[in-house]
Amino acid sequence: MGCGPGVSLGVMSKKPLVDASGDNSRILRHPAMKTRFILIETSHAGNVGAAARALKVMGFDELVLVKPRWANVLRREETIQRASGALDVLRQARIVETLDEALDGLTHLCATAMVPRDFGPPTLGPREHLGELARRDSPPAGVGFLFGSERFGMKNDDVYRCHAALSIPTNPEFGSLNLASAIQVVAYEWRMALGGYDLQDPRPCAAQADAQAVAGLLSHWEQSLVEIGFLDPMAPKKLMPRLQQLFNRAQLTTEEVHILRGIARQMAHAAGQKRLD
Q: What is the CATH number of the domain that holds 171?
A: 3.40.1280.10
Domain termination residue (choose one: 138, 165, 193) = 193
Asked whether 28 and 62 are in contact (CB, 8 A), the reply is no
Any domain includes 206: no
Asked if 182 and 69 sit in the same domain, the reply is yes
**Domain identity same for 164 and 257:** no
251 inside domain: yes
Q: Are residues 55 and 128 in the same domain?
A: yes
Per-residue pLDDT, 246: 94
Do 215 and 189 lie in one domain? The reply is: no
Identify whether residues 75 and 121 lie together within a single domain. yes
Same structural domain for residues 239 and 110?
no
Cβ contact 79:90 at 8 Å: yes
3-state DSSP helix/strand/coil % of the chain, to nearest 5: 40, 15, 45
Angstrom distances, CA of residue 49 to CA of 113, 119, 138, 274 = 22, 33, 34, 66
* pLDDT tens, residue order, the chain (277 aa): 333 344 433 333 333 333 333 444 334 455 567 999 999 999 999 999 999 999 999 999 999 999 999 889 999 999 999 999 999 999 999 999 999 999 999 999 999 866 666 667 989 999 999 999 999 888 888 999 999 988 888 888 898 899 999 988 888 888 778 899 999 999 999 999 998 886 666 667 778 899 999 999 999 999 999 999 999 989 888 899 999 999 999 999 999 999 999 999 999 888 888 878 7
Look up the CATH number of the domain holding residue 254.
1.10.8
pTM: 0.66
Is there a single domain that holds both residue 69 and residue 151? yes
Domain boundary among 160, 193, 226: 193
- pLDDT for residue 30: 59
Claim to verify: residue 62 and residue 182 sit in the same structural domain: yes
Residue 85 shares a structural domain with residue 135: yes
Of the candidates 220, 229, 230, the residue with the CA atom closest to the CA atom of residue 265: 220
- What pLDDT is attached to residue 174? 83
Same domain, 128 and 246: no
Instruction: For residues 47 and 139, state if they share a domain.
Output: yes
Do residues 178 and 7 make contact, with C-beta atoms less than 8 angstroms apart?
Answer: yes
Is the residue at 13 inside a domain?
yes
CB of 221 closer than 8 Å to CB of 214: no
Residue 230: which domain range?
211-276
Domain end marker among 193, 226, 259: 193
| Cα distance between residue 111 and residue 164, in whole Å | 6
Number of domains in the chain: 2
Let me know whether 65 and 36 are in one domain.
yes
